[in-house]
Amino acid sequence: SKLILEKNNVLTVEPGLYIPDWGGIRIEDTVLVTEEGYELLTKSSRELIV
């Protein structure tokens, strides 16, 4: 992509895993682009609950 991320842009990172005939899982993080890099805005736990 030719898109350049700039300070104060907000985006999501959404990796997913899908298994045929079973289902899938997706974890989404919301990220703020800062002057120094980024800040993770997602505050939820990453604990796997089965």
Centre a 10 Å sphere on the Cβ of residue 10 and count the other Cβ atoms it contains: 10
Centre a 10 Å sphere on the Cβ of residue 29 and count the other Cβ atoms it contains: 15
Grade residue 50 by pLDDT with cuts at 50, 70 and 90.
confident
pLDDT of residue 48: 79
10, 38 contact by CB (below 8 A): no
Can you tell me the mean pLDDT for 9-15?
97
In whole angstroms, give the CA distance from residue 22 to residue 7: 40
pLDDT of residue 38: 97
User: Which candidate, 33, 15, 11, places its Cα nearest to that of 25?
Assistant: 15
> What is the tens place of the pLDDT at every residue in 18-43?
999 999 999 899 999 999 999 999 99
pLDDT of residue 30: 98
